[in-house]
Amino acid sequence: SQYDDARSRLEEAGSLFAELNKPEGFADCISILGTIYEFRGQFEIAVSTLERAKSQFIELGSELGRAKCLSSLGRVYRAQGQYRAASSAAEEAKLAYTNSRSQRGLARTLLLLSHIHYDQDQYSDAFSAAEEARRRYIGMGDTFGISSCLLSMGSALLKQGRYDEAHRYAEEAENGGLRMGNSLGLANSRRLLGDIYRMEGEHDRACSLLEDAKSLLIQQNKNVYVSLDLADCNSSLGKLCRLRGKYDNAIKLLDEARTTYSTLGRGKKDADECTEEITLALKARDNREQAD
């Protein structure tokens, strides 16, 4: 795979940097290797590799290198559902990026903090962190970063029942994805729009958007985060199928999502939600069969 090839090349480059006594290059290679393990979902080895790289950067006195490792560690801990560790690493990264005057790194870390808040049902804090990240991305003219923030802000508003505002941010993110040709951003904006319409009871529009989002996600290069996005899409489609009385389809989609959440260690919340939805679908199907 592309990740195996990249890992092989990085290991070769790291060995060469070590032979040439180039510690900065060696530390960079270790850091990138840790990110590759992260994207493959090999979280334990990702953590140990990133901690090793962080130690190297500390020895070199590189605050920016340390910040990058901390930010990556925050993402890994979040993916594992270890939110206290994720928040701690992200806050450390935020301070390190501030000290090294990296606006882009700071914006990315603020967006990571937004995601961590969101996962813990802290939706106001999630919105505020994403809004601050968005301001920084606007200052840099980073349209990709702006769209990512819009998605986070819209998702937080949806959870607060503020559908009109959420819809506005989701549509703005969708337009950004179309302008940039960013199919992953487009997929996630349409998934968010689908969830908004589902909550508003517009099931046909919701289904069309969610199916489109799923199709776009299937076309992406696979990594742990795309797999989780697909699980989120299957979960939303499963909930929608249950509402529309398509119980067998609901159970299948929700079980697929639950398996992904459990396998990738997202934490219990999403998997448990799928289990609750499956239970509701099974009961509704049994009731319909008894009535027939």
**What confidence score (pLDDT) does residue 267 get?**
61
pLDDT tens per residue, range 169-227: 999 999 988 888 889 999 999 999 999 999 999 999 999 999 999 999 999 988 999 99
Judged against a pLDDT cut of 70, whether residue 125 lies above it is answered with yes
pLDDT band, very low/low/confident/very high, at 6 (cuts 50, 70, 90): confident
CA distance linking residue 116 with residue 107, whole number of Å: 14
pLDDT tens digit string along 131-160?
999 999 999 999 999 999 999 999 999 999
| Rounded Cα gap, residues 89 and 247, in angstroms | 42
Which residue, 115, 88, 93, is CA-closest to 104?
93
pLDDT at 86: 96
Q: What pLDDT is stored for residue 81 in this prediction? A: 87
pLDDT at site 147 = 95
Q: Would you state the pLDDT for residue 264?
A: 79
Alpha helices in the chain (DSSP H): 2-19, 23-39, 43-60, 63-79, 83-99, 103-119, 123-140, 143-159, 163-180, 183-199, 203-218, 224-243, 247-264, 268-291
- In tens, the pLDDT along 16-43 reads 777 677 788 888 899 999 999 999 889 9
Q: Which residue has the tokens 């979280």?
A: 43
Share of the chain above pLDDT 70, in %: 96
- Quick one: pLDDT at residue 2? 67
Whether the predicted model's global pTM rises above the 0.85 cut: yes
Residue 220 DSSP one-character state: S
Query: What is the residue-averaged pLDDT of the chain?
Result: 92
What tokens were used for 211? 């199916």
> CA-CA distance, 122 to 83, in Å (whole number)?
12
- CB–CB of 90/111 below 8 Å? no
Q: What is the dihedral of CA 74, 41, 208, 238, to 10 degrees?
A: -100
pLDDT, average across residues 60-87: 94
Tokens of 74: 């925050």
Nearest Cα to 129, choosing from 102, 101, 144, 148?
A: 148
In 3D, which of 163, 182, 103, 164 has the Cα closest to residue 135?
A: 103
